[in-house]
Amino acid sequence: MHHPLSASLARPSFLLVLVALFELCLAAWPVSPAIAKVETWRQEGPTGFAKCHREGVVISDNGRVRLGHAISPLGTLAAERVWDLVLTRAGVLFAATGDGGKVFRHEPKADASWTIAYDSTDSQVLSLAILPDGTAYGGTGPNGQVVNLSAIAHPASRPSAKVQYIWDLAADLHGNLYAATGPLGQLWKRSADGKWALAYDSKATHLLCLAIGPDGSVYAGGDGEGLIFRVLPDGKATILFDAPQAEVRTLLWAGDGALYAGTAAEAGGGNSARGSLFLTQGGTMPRLLDGPRADRGPGIPSRSGDGTALDAVVEVQAGTVAQARPAAPRPPGGGSATPRSITAGDNAVYRLDSDGVPREVLRVKALVHALAWADDRLLVGTGPEGLLYEVRDGGNETAPIAKLDNGQILSLLVGPAGAILIGTGDPGRVVQLAAGYAASGTLVSEVHDTKLVSRFGSLSWRADLPPDTGVSFETRAGNVGEPDDTWSAWSASQTNPANSATKSPPARFIQYRAKLSTTDRRRTPELRSVALSYRTSNLAPEITRLDVPDLSTADGAARQTRLNLRWDATDPNDDDLCYTLKVKKEGWPEWIGLTDEPISEKTFAWDTTAFPSGTYRVKVIASDRPSNSPDDALARDRESLSFVVDHDAPLVKVAPSKSGATITLKDDLTRIVKADFALDGGHWVPVFPDDGLFDTQEEKITLSLPDLKPGVHVLMVRATDSAGNVGTGDALVGGKN
């Protein structure tokens, strides 16, 4: 009687089910580490995250990823650029814009929108300032007007008929208004009675920025030579600093009692003659100009005119001018200061303290347009990438804190409750940077190429997580270099760095996405490093070339007792390789080893004297054992073409004839390359085959000796094969014959 199971096994459908189950088990069975290599992709440090795509996060100069600050637009206004911003005591915000030459006004109301406060006949309103009594003024170009924005009729005045651009305005505590102008590089002063007077005529083409010192001194930065001028209350002018860059674009007296200066030199347009002298690699820059110079006038002390340290703040002047500044006056009736395509050079922010030593606190490959001070930190607005930086602790820590979609951050202003107002260009907007961090942000890595299809292991990271903050990770993988619909979907979110097995399927390429979040806007997580482990299948090495000397091409000048074997090999896993060599003579049943131990060199000098003459092949075996366990190591071999080992001398037969001899030369393995004869122990004389060429293993030579003297003579003949073996033969010639 048959067992029921026996009957079931006999059925084809049941067998198919068993086969399917077996294949499923094989697919699910874990791959042993013995057949794979473990690699680690790690990102950390200043350059680790440089190629990552960022949304809502920033990366500090020491390579730490943090949440950025939340950015929200402050309504919309019709402008290409927002050159300057000021805020009245009543909370009214003014924005100076181009290329329509308008000043916009924004009331301090929740639902307020921008309105036009002034529509200039000029194409640009470049600068703004507010007097202590609350009167707002704007400076224009290219007709150089200073306009009273607070008056209903907006009366305008012009410091001089030659002034075309009012690049910056600043007001002191006494109600005096100062204007930095171009194209003559003049500083003009408008007193409280409304009269203009020339305060200083500098050597710059344009004075671009202003700041008022605690003692009432006026500081002005210019173009051309990167100079910062100081005009004392008594009218005496000196040069405070000679920057390596050609253009000082913005100045700021900050809350830490120092004067900060930002430069905006384009690539190739720096002050190279002085820059090579002044520029240093460390944090300390050249000293202030404290001695007399023939081309700059007398020096300046490190203290103000009344002997007090430079440690007070009168006004934070946020306005700056963007890269659109014309280098020369426009033609009459000329158009606006339309930006052109520019490339930023190496620019910097300098801290000019009362100790007499300027210090570089930030170096960027960008144009520094604007400076502001908030919460014991310096804010730096740049272009053309729209990055906002913060500088803390006198330059000991710097980091980008926001990146705008707009290409230019042209002006900065500290608003109510610590919010930062940002005026942008291309297009013109006013956006608000919240005092707290953004609620969330993402960091997407570049695609990592593992070179081979790999299984992905643990994903680990290091992060500082204050209360109410978090970091999570996702991954995706594919077999093409650019993610597309053939890639896997993003994996489930992982939040535990200590137990985070990568959930993406095996593939050649992988990418991760980190999400940073906070529910307390005062705190941010800080991601320090990311490491992802993966295992690539071990592949066998490849021997790409194997060269063995061809004795048939040798000239026989020396015996070929050593054959130099050479080869090339590669490994898909970049493993270290070792090599074993074997030889086999024609007719031998097995291969014979040439090396007792594996060698690492790709050449081997084989001493053939201990092997018989004959036709051989050599085999090179390449193994990746140096980089793998014995069970994991793989090898591949390659055999050479047949080649000859020849230790045997050529056979030389000499048959005397009536007037000489007939010589037969023969070699079983290599060709004959030369022959000589000597008569009666005399000099060796070269002799050649009847066909004139030594080109075969057998040659015939007819030797004629017409001048042979009577009697018996000894004729010696020697022949050399291409392996350098020499054979001889002899005969008696002459006599009765």
CATH entry, 651-734, from 2.60.40.650, 3.30.420.40, 3.90.79.10, 3.40.50.12780: 2.60.40.650
Superfamily of domain 542-645: Immunoglobulins (2.60.40.10)
pTM score, whole prediction: 0.59
What average pLDDT score do residues 325-330 get? 34
**Class at the top of the CATH hierarchy for domain 34-65+441-537:** mainly beta
More confident residue, 613 or 735: 613
Domains 542-645 and 651-734 share a fold: yes
Lowest mean pLDDT among 16-30, 358-372, 498-512: 16-30
Query: What 3-state class would DSSP assign to 623?
Result: strand
- The pLDDT of residue 435 is above 90: no
What average pLDDT score do residues 58-78 get? 86
For residues 234 and 305, is the Cβ–Cβ distance under 8 A? Answer: yes
- The pLDDT of residue 321 is above 50: no
Write down the pLDDT at residue 376.
87
Question: Closest Cα partner for 518 from 57, 130, 6?
Answer: 57
Residue 208 pLDDT class (50, 70, 90 cuts): very high
Write down the pLDDT at residue 539.
85
% the chain with pLDDT above 90 = 61
Give the C-alpha separation, 241 to 574, whole Å.
55
CATH 2.130.10.10 fits 69-329+343-437, yes or no: yes
Query: What residues have CB less than 8 Å from 280, skipping those under 6 apart?
Result: 286, 360
Q: Is the peptide bond before 99 cis (omega within 30 degrees of 0)?
A: yes
Mean of all residue pLDDT scores within the chain: 83
Count CB neighbours of 399 within 10 A.
17
Residue 537 pLDDT class (50, 70, 90 cuts): confident
Break the chain into its structural domains and give their ranges: 34-65+441-537, 69-329+343-437, 542-645, 651-734
Write down the pLDDT at residue 357.
79
Enter the tokens of residue 172.
């002191």
Lowest mean pLDDT among 28-42, 495-509, 609-623: 28-42
Give the C-alpha separation, 141 to 164, whole Å.
6
What average pLDDT score do residues 537-552 get? 89
Write down the pLDDT at residue 415.
84
For residues 360 and 349, is the Cβ–Cβ distance under 8 A? Answer: yes
For residues 500 and 506, is the Cβ–Cβ distance under 8 A? Answer: no
For residue range 276-314, list pLDDT tens digits in order: 222 222 332 222 332 222 222 222 222 233 333 332 222
More confident residue, 592 or 551: 592
**H helix or E strand, kind and range, residue 639:** strand 635-639
Q: Long-range contacts made by residues 86-93, C-beta under 8 angstroms, separation at least 24?
A: 86/128, 86/129, 86/130, 86/136, 86/318, 86/319, 86/413, 87/413, 87/415, 87/421, 88/130, 88/134, 88/136, 89/134, 90/134, 91/416, 93/413, 93/415, 93/421, 93/430
Residue type for 272, please?
Answer: S
Count CB neighbours of 220 within 10 A.
31
Give the C-alpha separation, 151 to 33, whole Å.
81
Question: Closest Cα partner for 703 from 675, 737, 667?
Answer: 675
Write down the pLDDT at residue 332.
27
Write down the pLDDT at residue 403.
82
- The pLDDT of residue 21 is above 80: no
For residue range 562-603, list pLDDT tens digits in order: 899 999 999 988 889 999 999 999 999 999 999 889 999 999
What average pLDDT score do residues 371-387 get? 92
What average pLDDT score do residues 698-705 get? 93
Give the C-alpha separation, 389 to 381, whole Å.
7
For residue range 459-509, list pLDDT tens digits in order: 999 999 999 999 999 999 999 999 999 999 999 999 988 767 888 999 999
Query: What residues have CB less than 8 Å from 295, skipping those under 6 apart?
Result: none
What average pLDDT score do residues 422-432 get? 92
Residue 268 pLDDT class (50, 70, 90 cuts): low
More confident residue, 332 or 207: 207
Residue 220 pLDDT class (50, 70, 90 cuts): very high
Count CB neighbours of 589 within 10 A.
5
Write down the pLDDT at residue 210.
97
More confident residue, 634 or 23: 634
Give the C-alpha separation, 408 to 443, whole Å.
23
Write down the pLDDT at residue 295.
28
Query: What residues have CB less than 8 Å from 337, skipping those under 6 apart?
Result: 98, 99, 123, 124, 141, 142, 324, 325, 326
Question: Closest Cα partner for 213 from 254, 167, 263, 168?
Answer: 254
Write down the pLDDT at residue 736.
62
